[in-house]
């Protein structure tokens, strides 16, 4: 991957334009299913060594067998900060690209082992800590998976974990994805100030038929609806394209990449507009201070 020399034209971009990644190491969280697995599969095909953090080793090994190529599985659980710290301590090798992709949606209010509202803990706070811990090992790029939902997000610093206010899945998810946008912006600002060669990119998959979109609490019904949906809406493979584009193309720091088609649902990946809040450096700084306080992270830049 030679980021500095390649053209980032969005016209008709497909995974066929991915560069040779031989000798590169790419860590993909959430790489055992959905768009993460598709992204891991494509970079492995181009020769990258793929590190797959997985909640269980069995799940990771099964995904690795499907992905093929050079893969390495580690146990890892974003719902527990001690597990995040354990993985970061265990994995000491160089990382060319960290793809912070893992995420979830929950209809009911749940909490992580550390007492965080589940969306905030898994979608932002766990990945924030992981990235801060691994940052000295990263050589090229951090990619953070965001969402169009960030535009509806609001960070409620008085009650971020919905301990007092009424819980809403939409509000919790949107808050977490705005948090991703703010974290990415602030991290890029800090890296720039430190003179680092590492950059940060933000990407969203559009609307893809993956298990995160299960619309009912009944798994058999969801499986049927997902099979139907895959015939009419973009697939996990389609959703992985913006992430792969963000991971490998030469881009301005802190770009926000997504599908370029109608309402950013599908199409070739390209630059997208973010909300005003997502581009606010002061709000981003405040969110970083909140994340540091919650996770105990010790930022290196």
> Which residues are part of the catalytic machinery?
173
- In the numeric block, the tokens 């609806």 are attached to 225
Q: Which of helix, strand or coil describes residue 160? A: coil
At residue 267, what are phi and psi to the nearest 5 degrees? 115, 175
- In the numeric block, the tokens 């659980």 are attached to 77
Are 127 and 102 spatial neighbours (Cβ–Cβ below 8 Å)?
yes
Helices and strands, number each (H, E), in the chain: 9, 8
Tokens of 206: 């559009």
Q: Give the span between the Cα atoms of 133 and 154, in whole angstroms.
A: 27
Nearest CA to 100 out of 43, 54, 156, 146 is that of: 146
Strands (E), the chain: 25-28, 49-54, 70-75, 95-100, 138-145, 199-203, 256-259, 269-271
Q: Which of helix, strand or coil describes residue 61? A: helix
Counting beta carbons within 10 angstroms of the beta carbon of residue 249, is it exposed (0 to 12), middle (13 to 18) or buried (19 or more)?
buried
Q: Give the span between the Cα atoms of 187 and 200, in whole angstroms.
A: 7
User: DSSP of 69-99, one letter per residue?
Assistant: SEEEEEE--TT-HHHHHHHHHH--S-EEEEE
């Amino acid at each position: 991957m030679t980021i500095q020399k390649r053209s980032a034209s969005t016209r008709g971009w497909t995974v066929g334009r991915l560069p040779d990644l031989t000798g590169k190491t790419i860590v993909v969280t959430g790489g055992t299913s959905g768009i993460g697995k598709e992204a891991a599969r494509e970079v492995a095909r181009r020769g990258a060594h793929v590190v797959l953090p997985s909640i269980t080793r069995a799940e990771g090994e099964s995904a690795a067998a499907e992905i093929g190529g050079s893969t390495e599985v580690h146990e890892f659980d974003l719902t527990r900060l001690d597990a995040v710290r354990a993985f970061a301590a265990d994995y000491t090798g160089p990382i060319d690209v960290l793809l912070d992709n893992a995420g979830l949606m929950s209809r009911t209010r749940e909490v992580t082992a550390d007492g965080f509202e589940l969306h905030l803990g898994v979608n932002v706070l766990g990945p924030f800590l992981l990235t801060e811990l691994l940052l000295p090992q990263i050589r090229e790029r951090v990619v953070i998976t965001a969402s169009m939902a960030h535009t509806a997000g609001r960070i409620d610093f008085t009650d971020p974990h919905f301990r007092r206010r009424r819980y809403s899945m939409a509000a919790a998810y949107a808050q977490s994805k705005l948090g991703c946008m703010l974290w990415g912006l602030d991290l890029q600002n800090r890296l720039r100030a430190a003179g680092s060669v590492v950059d940060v990119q933000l990407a969203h998959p559009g609307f893809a038929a993956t298990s995160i979109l299960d619309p009912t609490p009944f798994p058999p019904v969801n499986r049927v609806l997902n099979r139907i949906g895959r015939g009419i809406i973009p697939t996990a493979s389609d959703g992985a394209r913006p992430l792969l584009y963000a991971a490998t193309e030469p881009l301005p720091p802190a770009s926000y990449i997504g599908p370029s088609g109608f309402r950013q649902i599908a199409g070739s990946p390209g630059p997208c507009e973010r909300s005003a809040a997502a581009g606010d450096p002061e709000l981003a700084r405040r969110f970083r201070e909140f994340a540091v306080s919650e996770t105990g992270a010790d930022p290196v830049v």
